[in-house]
């Protein structure tokens, strides 16, 4: 069974631009969560989508948004990029049941110049 895939793997943008990252969950998984990983802040939860609805949201500004499609694939968008948005963005998928395992993709490394 294929794991979680994320595209692109690497991305370089400049301040003020916007970016869209894509995540394909493990087949059958209905929940997709996004996390930001930085050396300073560690792993932080961005948001979670289930059945095309955002079910949970972390403490990030409104510039960070996402969506989920009917096939459970998800995208996250960051508008008006800032230097501090440089990070590894990780997507995780799961069955959406209690005490479940979240399976992470390899991440998208975003560098904002």
Residues 94-113, interacting with other proteins (CB under 8 A): 94, 96, 98-107
- Two tokens, residue 96: 């959406």
Residue 43 interacts with other proteins (CB under 8 A)? yes
Among 11, 58, 75, 79, binds other proteins (CB under 8 A): 58
Are 39 and 87 in contact by the 8 Å Cβ rule? The answer is no
Based on DSSP, count helices (H) and strands (E) in the chain, helices before strands.
Answer: 0, 11
The least distance separating other proteins from the CB of residue 49, rounded to whole angstroms, comes to 9
C-alpha closest to that of 27 among 97, 100, 94: 94
Nearer to other proteins, 17 or 54 (CB): 54
Range in contact with other proteins (rule: CB under 8 A) among 11-19, 62-70, 71-79, 87-95: 87-95
Are 29 and 93 in contact by the 8 Å Cβ rule? The answer is yes
CA–CA distance, 81 with 68 (Å, rounded to integer): 22
Nearer to other proteins, 17 or 36 (CB): 36
Rg (CA), the chain: 13
Residues at the interface with other proteins (CB under 8 A): 4, 31, 33, 35, 42-45, 48, 50, 55-56, 58, 90, 92, 94, 96, 98-107
């Amino acid at each position: 069974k294929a794991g979680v895939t994320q595209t692109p793997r690497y991305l370089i943008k400049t301040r003020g631009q916007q970016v869209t990252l894509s995540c394909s969950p493990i087949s059958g998984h209905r929940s997709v969560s996004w996390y930001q990983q930085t050396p300073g802040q560690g792993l932080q939860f961005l948001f979670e989508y289930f059945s095309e609805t955002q079910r949970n949201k972390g403490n990030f500004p409104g510039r960070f948004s996402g969506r989920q499609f009917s096939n459970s694939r998800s995208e996250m968008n960051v508008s008006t990029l800032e230097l501090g948005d440089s990070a590894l963005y990780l997507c995780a998928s799961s069955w959406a049941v209690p005490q479940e395992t979240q399976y992470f993709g390899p991440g998208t490394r975003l560098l904002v110049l």
